[in-house]
Amino acid sequence: MSAPLNTSSVWRDLQQHRQSWEGVTLRQLFQDDPQRARNFSAEACGLYLDYSKHLIKPETLRLLITLARARHLEERRAAMFAGERINRTEGRAAFHVALRAPKGHVMRTAGVDVVPEVHKVLEHMAAFTRSIHDGTWRGATGQPIRKIINIGIGGSYLGPEMAWKALRAYRHPGMELGFVANVDGATFTDVTAHLDPAETLFIVSSKTFTTLETMTNAQQARHWVTSALGEAAVARHFVAVSTNVEAVEAFGMDTGHMFGFWDWVGGRYSMDSAIGLSTMLGVGVEHFTAMLAGFHAMDNHFQTAPLEQNLPVLMGLLALWYNNFWDAQTLAILPYAHDLARFPAYLQQLQMESNGKGVDEDGHPVVVDTGAIIWGEPGTDGQHSFYQLIHQGTRLIPCDFIGFCQPLSPLAEQHELLMANLIAQAEALAFGKTAEELRAEGVAEALVPFRVFPGNRPSSVLLGDRLDPHTLGALVALYEHSVFTQGVIWGIDSFDQWGVELGKVLAQRIVAELQSTARHPHDASTAALLQRYLQRRGS
């Protein structure tokens, strides 16, 4: 067993190095090194990362990279790309990188080259998509399908919804997508409110095909379709995406219209698998393929670029630097792109489900803090809400600003304003405004303390040219591998999610109590809540 992470010599070196930051300012660092912006920037797959406004010096990076090497990041990365069972608690590979491997590449897990199977499913998805688009596939009454509703939750929802919004400019004409995730009946009613069953297709997306929310909503959808079009309509209005053939059959769905994937694809790493069927239907085969190419390009970069210029590694190390050495609790994701409005929510599952772990891979309690809390809103909305705290509050909140040089909206002038704000916010956070500057501007002395901006607040700026499918794929893969980098250093299993189980089990027990006279022993608070609910729920 290796020594605890926080007693390793490089960890201690980093702690000591952190002490040397007292009194150091980004203003000074930029003054001292005119090349700082160039030295602390890197580019890959159309994404430019400026990380010069971080609280780092060359020595910081050197130590962080030494830490990554000491924790065998390169070997673990090789193990992931070799299809090894790196998800130890579930005894599986985490082989999402194989989902975007081009045809002809060989990627083996458990001795099997999975690329041919992956492409078989992609071809099935493409044929289905084309048949919907060209009207060969029609609904039970002969009407073309125009509305696609993805029923799924967690990893079977967040990626497709995020991508549908992100690729708004690339939507296939005439197609509309909707998403039903929450078990709250209001979601289903809201999404289907103005839909015509005759032109609506449901994709029931669930890796396990056992998830309560998804199965409940799928039954609801079935009822909604059959009460309008009859039982025979199910075959024309439902398809399934799952790894569980038996459960799909048991649900009464035609497995000929099932799109499969594999247990080596984690839910939150599945938007580029058949779980992306709604995305493909929404934006078309070519754009989906371009998105996969973007994922693959970033995989290649992650696999081959030296750690010092490796975007996912750098982003992972920076996140870890604040998490473990600056007591930062959170990371703000701030896309300056309306179309990326759901990107922070997508990253919440990716990062918090992956790295929200309190024991290491050997089952021992971790000795350092792990995954940060991820949150955020698109700019400039956030500026008029929570940025106050980021600029002048007492907490250190590292920020990821994400923006694009070319607008997708025809309102190009507004894009200038948007991007000016992004650049200005990163500048203001880093360099702030001193009391002297305020006085020189004639600010009344009594107001000076309130108007000081301390600066030294770190941020990354990620700039792409356009938010196109390729860039989106690269962006998602960038964060996937950044999460991996952090998980490897902490020594945790980033690919399991046992923490979601207990609530599910308890909910099932409580459902039984609400639907019958069965009673289970509960603590006083839970019992009182149940009792109040039962008394007041109405008949």
Residue type, 117: E
**Of 276, 318, 284, 307, whose CA–CA distance to 476 is shortest?**
276
- 335 forms beta bridges with 402
Q: What mask of x and - would describe binding to ligand G6P in positions 21 to 50, judged by CB under 6 A?
A: ------------------------------
Distance CA 148, CA 492 (A): 38
Q: Which residues have a Cβ under 8 Å from the Cβ of 223 and sit 6 or more positions away?
A: none
Is the separation of the CB atoms in 152 and 205 below 8 Å?
A: yes
CB of 82 to ligand G6P, least distance (A): 24
- Give the start-end residues of each E strand in 140-224: 147-151, 176-180, 200-205
**Residue whose structure tokens are 């190009």:** 412
Of residues 153 and 298, the one with the C-beta less far from ligand G6P: 153
CB of 429 to ligand G6P, least distance (A): 33
For residue 441, give the DSSP letter: T
CB of 259 to ligand G6P, least distance (A): 13
If one asks whether residue 153 binds ligand G6P (CB under 6 A), the answer comes out as: yes
CB of 156 to ligand G6P, least distance (A): 4
Of residues 351 and 460, the one with the C-beta less far from ligand G6P: 351
Query: Which residues in the 165-184 window bind ligand G6P by CB under 6 A?
Result: none
Count other C-beta atoms under 10 Å from residue 33's C-beta: 15
Q: Which stretch binds ligand G6P (CB under 6 A): 179-187, 206-214, 326-334, 516-524?
A: 206-214
Q: Does residue 363 come out as left (phi exceeding 0), alpha (psi in the -120 to 50 range) or beta?
A: left
Of residues 214 and 459, the one with the C-beta less far from ligand G6P: 214
Is the separation of the CB atoms in 106 and 120 below 8 Å?
A: no
Is the separation of the CB atoms in 215 and 205 below 8 Å?
A: no
CB of 273 to ligand G6P, least distance (A): 11
If one asks whether residue 300 binds ligand G6P (CB under 6 A), the answer comes out as: no
Query: Which residues in the 220-279 window bind ligand G6P by CB under 6 A?
Result: 267-268
Of residues 248 and 461, the one with the C-beta less far from ligand G6P: 248
Query: Which residues in the 494-513 window bind ligand G6P by CB under 6 A?
Result: 497, 500
Query: Which residues in the 339-358 window bind ligand G6P by CB under 6 A?
Result: 353
If one asks whether residue 208 binds ligand G6P (CB under 6 A), the answer comes out as: yes
10-23 exposure pattern, b = at least 16 Cβ within 10 A, e = fewer: bbeebeebbeeeee
Count other C-beta atoms under 10 Å from residue 123's C-beta: 12
**Of 182, 60, 177, whose CA–CA distance to 129 is shortest?**
177
Residue among 36, 71, 92, 207 that touches ligand G6P (CB under 6 A)? 207
Q: Which stretch binds ligand G6P (CB under 6 A): 1-9, 147-155, 191-199, 416-424?
A: 147-155
Q: Which stretch binds ligand G6P (CB under 6 A): 6-14, 208-216, 225-233, 420-428?
A: 208-216
Residue among 46, 155, 398, 455 that touches ligand G6P (CB under 6 A)? 155
Of residues 170 and 259, the one with the C-beta less far from ligand G6P: 259
Look at residue 136 and give its three-state secondary structure. Answer: coil
Query: Can you read off the two tokens belonging to residue 535?
Result: 């008394």
CB of 47 to ligand G6P, least distance (A): 26
Residue among 60, 129, 214, 471 that touches ligand G6P (CB under 6 A)? 214
Strands of 459-464's sheet in order across: 41-44, 47-50, 459-464, 399-404, 330-335, 373-375
Question: Active-site positions?
Answer: 353, 384, 504
Q: Which stretch binds ligand G6P (CB under 6 A): 120-128, 133-141, 149-157, 520-528?
A: 149-157
For residue 239, give the DSSP letter: E
Is the separation of the CB atoms in 456 and 26 below 8 Å?
A: yes
Q: Which stretch binds ligand G6P (CB under 6 A): 81-89, 200-208, 252-260, 389-397?
A: 200-208
If one asks whether residue 55 binds ligand G6P (CB under 6 A), the answer comes out as: no
Residue among 154, 178, 316, 469 that touches ligand G6P (CB under 6 A)? 154
Query: Which residues in the 448-467 window bind ligand G6P by CB under 6 A?
Result: none
Residue among 211, 279, 289, 351 that touches ligand G6P (CB under 6 A)? 211
Is the separation of the CB atoms in 197 and 225 below 8 Å?
A: yes
Query: Can you read off the two tokens belonging to residue 186?
Result: 């209001």
Residue type, 315: M
- 145 forms beta bridges with none
CB of 251 to ligand G6P, least distance (A): 13
Q: Which residues bind to ligand G6P, rule: CB under 6 A?
A: 153-156, 206-208, 211, 214, 267-268, 353, 497, 500
